[in-house]
Chain A
């Protein structure tokens, strides 16, 4: 492990070579919007919201999956990046079916917060209103694909933390969808342990507990830190667990 020096938005900062640009930016209170990233899960660079500019490079780099290099000069807040971020949020909105007024996570939703972050007054692209399936066959949980932003957090938490690997992605483009096991009703899945981790990490109202009504569901995501900490350091941090 080596310590490197780089420049973020004109400020000199240092970071470790095994961290991501996102980690280093956060340590220095530089806010970069993210959606697919979640502390405790591997990074896949799926949502592209965290794209940053690197001096001397024409392409943009996702901060969550890019490692620092000595002397790197990074910008996180240029007009170009702001424009792209707004466009990503608009595309997410127009490719799903989001009716916040009747959604279980209304006012507790990461997609809504991102829309407020980019001051999204309206969506410039035509809404596509794709036909998406809702699956309420699981005893305790529901997946409503109308609200899914394909961040794959559920896929990763189920595989990496729970070890069940119930979720996967099928299809391409607008047909891309989250499936359980061999593309079967969730309630018939043999691998799902009903642990509920996927429901907790989902940034939107796509995964929720049964019996929740409009604006009732608040996701608790802190649990992940403790599990991952316990795995890596082989210790449970008692007071944090109580907080949970």
Chain B
């Protein structure tokens, strides 16, 4: 059976996923080797059971991210913090010097051009956590892929190692913040 791989988009800009797509023709090789069971680029609503590898982009920024993070930990064997926002909080955590109320007010009232309304009545909208956190502060993580975003080569290396059944020990040359 092919390894079941998931990629997840938490509080990030999707840049790490763009870099994943930048693996170009290597994606074709990858498509033969894995089963992509969950991803922002696949139409799957529910994070599935028995995932072998999960690449998680972004910081844990709202209650939905937090729930999903715990679900990923329960259902996936290997969880990889994918990029700087997942690893350090990075740009997503720049809001942490302000309270969620200050941020929501800034976004929906101060910067609104028309109809300054705070969408608090909508129960379907996720609630900001007091602070955005790196993934490993919320769940145990098995590995880290650095960079904002990680380069396609870094991603290819990590994924190839995982598919070969090895824990990716990323060479120091790939250690790169920013």
Contact = CB atoms under 8 A, between A and B. Distances in A.
Interface of A: 93, 97-103, 106-107, 112, 115-116, 119-123, 126-127, 129-132, 215
B89 interface: yes
Given A100-B177, A101-B178, A215-B178, A122 B81 contact: yes
Interface string B137-159: 10001001010100000000000
A113 to B, nearest CB: 10
Given A101-B148, A126-B137, A129-B93, A106 B178 contact: yes
22 contacts: A97-B93, A97-B94, A97-B96, A100-B84, A100-B90, A100-B148, A101-B84, A101-B91, A102-B91, A103-B178, A115-B177, A119-B172, A119-B175, A121-B146, A122-B81, A122-B144, A123-B134, A127-B134, A129-B96, A129-B131, A130-B97, A132-B97
Contacts of A121: 144, 146, 170, 175
Given A97-B94, A102-B91, A129-B96, A116 B81 contact: no
Given A112-B177, A115-B177, A215-B178, A98 B97 contact: no
A93 B87 CA distance: 12
Nearest to B97: A131
A129 B93 CA distance: 8
B136 interface: yes
A20 to B, nearest CB: 29
B65 interface: no
A101 B86 CA distance: 13
B175 A98 contact: no
A101 B88 CA distance: 11
Contacts of B178: 100-101, 103, 106-107, 112, 215
A131 B84 CA distance: 21
A227 B26 CA distance: 54
B20 to A, nearest CB: 17
The 4 closest A-B pairs by CB, nearest first: A100-B178, A101-B148, A129-B96, A106-B178
Interface in B70-100: 81, 84, 87-91, 93-94, 96-97
A116 B159 CA distance: 22
A122 B136 contact: yes
Most buried by B among A93, A98, A101, A127: A101
A222 to B, nearest CB: 24
Interface in B97-145: 97, 131, 133-134, 136-137, 141, 144
A112 B133 CA distance: 20
Given A99-B88, A121-B144, 6 more contacts: A103-B178, A112-B178, A115-B175, A122-B134, A122-B141, A127-B88
Given A122-B87, A129-B131, A116 B172 contact: yes
A97 B144 contact: no
Given A100-B84, A100-B148, A102-B91, A120 B175 contact: yes
